[in-house]
Amino acid sequence: MSADHAAARTYPFEIRHAIDIAAPIETVFDYVTNPKSWPEWLPSSHALDCDDRPMGFGDTFHEHWSTRTGPVDLAWLVIACDRPTLWIGMTYTSFMGPVVVHYTFEQVGAQTRFTRILRNPARPKPPTAEMVERMSAEAELGLGNIRRIVERR
């Protein structure tokens, strides 16, 4: 294998979590797709520069995020939005490559099933088991926070 080929190797990664929420699908969709709500439920999200509203296809916004190695500023682009069932946002970091957050919403009886899929299609190196465990724990905490907040409304 040539050095150029080895340097170009990437490691696709995906992790998904879902939760059922006792609220109308539109309510869950509008809350989760409004980035201003993210710091309320996602511990690594600290501040957002955007309008206080759900983001639609083509919208851009900036997130101030924290990692174990320090702060990161993310420029997001909404690449798909079909209210109230689908929302996909994409950003880029030097240490993870492209980051795609894919949200789906499904009415299941009187509840809404919210699924959050985090994808890194071209990571420069694979995540460690500890990283995957931390990402999973944060996602589960975040989804639990969403359910608690939305069900109280």
Residue 3 has pLDDT above 80, yes or no: no
Residue 1 domain flag: no
Band of pLDDT at residue 34, cut at 50, 70 and 90: very high
Compute the average pLDDT of residues 78-103: 95
Tell me the residue type at 33: T
Residue 113 domain flag: yes
Residue 13 domain flag: yes
Residue 2 domain flag: no
Least confidently predicted of 26-30, 69-73, 115-119: 69-73
Residue 68 domain flag: yes
The number of distinct structural domains making up the chain is 1
**pLDDT for position 119:** 96
Domain of 99?
A: 9-152
Q: Closest by alpha carbon to 16, among 146, 126, 144, 119?
A: 119
Residue 52 domain flag: yes
Rounded distance, CA 128 to CA 117, Å? 18
Residue 106 domain flag: yes
109, exposed or middle or buried, with CB in 10 Å at 0-12, 13-18, 19+? exposed
Band of pLDDT at residue 7, cut at 50, 70 and 90: low
Residue 4 domain flag: no
**pLDDT for position 6:** 53
The model's pTM: 0.91
Q: Which residues pair with 49 in a beta bridge?
A: 62
Q: Closest by alpha carbon to 64, among 30, 28, 91?
A: 91
Compute the average pLDDT of residues 53-71: 90
CATH of the domain at 64: 3.30.530.20
pLDDT > 70 fraction of the chain, expressed in percent and rounded: 95
